[in-house]
Amino acid sequence: MRVAAVTFFLFLIALLGACNPAAAPVPVSSRPALSNDTPAKAPINEMTWTGSDGKQTSLADLEGKVVILDFWATYCPPCIKEIPHLNTIHAKFDQAGVKIIGLNSGGPDDRPKIPRFLRKTPIDYEMAFPDDDLQSYIFKDDDRIPQTLVFDRGGRLVKRIVGFDDGVKRDLDDAVRSAMSAQ
């Protein structure tokens, strides 16, 4: 009994550590490709994700749109809290050229859980899976989720956000407005 309790406690700590609550945005790396001042050109604009239809897409394919890449997993409480807000952004700005892609980063064990998860927590925006290069690049220095990246219509990173809470919600809204107004 004691071994089971200790094992459960260690599992709980590991699970909570994987999905830390909101944190201040931090750079993915020291490379200029993800600086708020530098266009997100090679390599990130050419890195791809794969949709449920099997089609690969990249940021370069979506030039002219505001793009929100949200890295999430079904087992992550802050990710789950963020989904309704992303649904709201999608409903409000989809027709204005804002494209949200929910990139499930939970790995192969999480993928079979998605259909059941979606019955409880609908996702109205596009869902996909990051290809290995993109996932490795994004999580190189910080593997916490959710991680949400907002790009303007020219492919420049406006904001990178880690976690989700009311403050992050405001930051995300501000980033979307800023990306929409950028020339």
Q: pLDDT category, 43, cuts 50, 70, 90?
A: low
What pLDDT band is residue 177 in, cutting at 50, 70 and 90?
A: very high
**pLDDT at residue 23 above 80?**
no
SS3 110: coil
- The boundaries of the domain holding residue 48 are 2-181
- Cα dihedral 43, 48, 135, 38, rounded to 10, equals 30
We report the CATH number of the domain holding residue 19 as 3.40.30.10
Query: Helices 166-181 and 77-93, interaxial angle, to 10°?
Result: 30
Q: Is the pLDDT of residue 55 over 50?
A: yes
Domain count, the chain: 1
Number of helices (H), then strands (E), in the chain: 5, 7
Quick check: 15 pLDDT over 80? no
Greatest mean pLDDT among 2-6, 11-15, 51-55: 51-55
- pLDDT beyond 50 at 183: yes
**pLDDT category, 2, cuts 50, 70, 90?**
low
Predicted TM-score (pTM) of the model is 0.77
**How does pLDDT run across 107-163, given as a tens digit for each residue?**
999 999 999 999 999 999 999 999 998 998 889 889 999 999 999 999 999 999 999
pLDDT for position 42: 42
Q: Which residues contact 152 (CB under 8 A, 6 or more apart)?
A: 66, 158, 178, 179, 180, 182
Average pLDDT, integer, range 155-181: 93
Split at pLDDT 50, 70, 90, the class of 75 is very high
